[in-house]
Amino acid sequence: MVNILVVEDEQSITKLLKETLQIEGYQVTIVLNGEDAVQFALREIPHLIILDVMLPRRYGLSDMDGYDVILKLRSHPKTMHIPIIVLSAFGAPADIIRAYERDVDGFITKPFDLEELLARVRRHLRRVQQSCLSPLTGLPGGLQVVRAINYKLGNVDPWSILYLDLDNFKAYNDVYGFLTGNEMILLVGRICQRAVYEYGNSDDFVGHIGGDDFIVVTTPERAEALCVNISDSYKKESASLYHSEDLIRGSISGVDRKGRPYQFPLVSLSIGVVNNQLCRPHSIQEVSYLAAEAKRNAKLSTSNISYISSPRDKVSSECSSTISSSLTNHALPFSFSGLTLDDLFYFSEEGSMAEYEQQVH
């Protein structure tokens, strides 16, 4: 269900908005001040926000007005894509310009027409789904993933990136069909979101890179718990997506590309983990290399989890040298602008194809 956050302290308006939006089938949450609005948005990631820019400063708890809320949300990769419709009792050109300069999606002056508001809500929900989110999982993808990583690279705070990839997924998709394959991808997305909600930080980021690849951006002290929970949950919950005979046998009966019968392994979930504690990447290309290396190691590990920057790894200077050498030696199919998703995880498709080739020959 679509979740809409309403940030408004005037009781008559909140009552009207909640009733109207609920009749339209939306789930509505009301908060009264800016601080609560930011915290809720980071934690719950609403699909759309309706925001009164004139927010109260009560009990000394918050000095944030609506414009401060907009700046906070637009500066964080987890919330920067969320459509924001501003409500204001002030409709002078200067007020409207101020709001749009802070990148709001709509400005409505009080008193407002409900039909117009609903039309704007529907339009902005369609737009964000088409342009920013994965059409399958509804998770941020594409440029949002790149922005989330660049956001971490831009500060010195500790971070960890979990790169998740399904092993043997192509064979599964060929045997079970793309609709069941989509169910498995949706399952991984739901598990990641649930794990972050229960074991992560409020501002942790979950993104869908594409296909069967996902990313979680968190902090080092949360990474292990997230990996264990995601891995265990996947092993338990993915069982429902197999025929009973395949589960009992522990493999999938299919044919290779030459039409020969072949037993493919069940689909496993590998998680490669990169952090900036000892091996500090300085560019998104370095993160790309480390994430791909961690994922390859995870596929070879009995636990399907690999940490690329643990204490036993090389120190930062040696690591940077190794990365630079590898990036130079590979014929990378991208510029170093760091703006496209293919640039970030160019190893992904290549690794999947190599894995498949190895199985069928």
Q: How confident is the model at residue 351 (pLDDT cuts 50, 70, 90)?
A: very low
- The ranges assigned to domains in the chain are 3-131, 143-360
* Per-residue pLDDT at 323 exceeds 80: no
Contact 46, 3 (CB under 8 A): yes
User: Which one is predicted more confidently, 198 or 320?
Assistant: 198
Contact 48, 121 (CB under 8 A): yes
* Per-residue pLDDT at 331 exceeds 60: no
What does the pLDDT look like over 71-114, one tens digit per residue?
A: 999 999 999 999 999 999 999 999 999 999 999 999 999 999 99
Q: How confident is the model at residue 314 (pLDDT cuts 50, 70, 90)?
A: very low
**Given the DSSP bridges, would you call strands 213-218 and 160-167 parallel, antiparallel or unpaired?**
antiparallel
Using CB atoms within 10 Å of the CB of residue 111, give its burial: 0 to 12 exposed, 13 to 18 middle, 19+ buried: exposed
Helices (H) and strands (E) in the chain — how many of each? 14, 12
Alpha carbon dihedral 198, 225, 271, 178, in 10-degree steps, equals -30
* Per-residue pLDDT at 345 exceeds 60: no
Mean pLDDT score across all residues of the chain: 84
Average pLDDT over residues 117-146: 91
* Per-residue pLDDT at 241 exceeds 60: yes
User: Which one is predicted more confidently, 37 or 288?
Assistant: 37
Beta bridge partners of 273: 162, 307
* Per-residue pLDDT at 330 exceeds 70: no
* Per-residue pLDDT at 190 exceeds 50: yes
Average pLDDT over residues 198-205: 95
pLDDT at position 311, please? 40
pLDDT at position 61, please? 53
**What's the sign of the alpha-carbon dihedral 104, 25, 202, 40?**
positive
Residues contacting residue 358 through CB under 8 Å, at least 6 positions apart: none
Contact 77, 159 (CB under 8 A): no
Lowest mean pLDDT, pick from 168-172, 217-221, 317-321: 317-321
Q: 143-360 has which fold?
A: Alpha-Beta Plaits (3.30.70)
pLDDT at position 57, please? 65
Contact 201, 73 (CB under 8 A): no
* Per-residue pLDDT at 186 exceeds 80: yes
* Per-residue pLDDT at 332 exceeds 70: no
pLDDT at position 293, please? 87
Q: What percent of the chain has pLDDT over 70?
A: 83
What does the pLDDT look like over 254-280, one tens digit per residue?
A: 887 788 888 999 999 999 999 988 677
- The CATH code of the domain at 3-131 is 3.40.50.2300
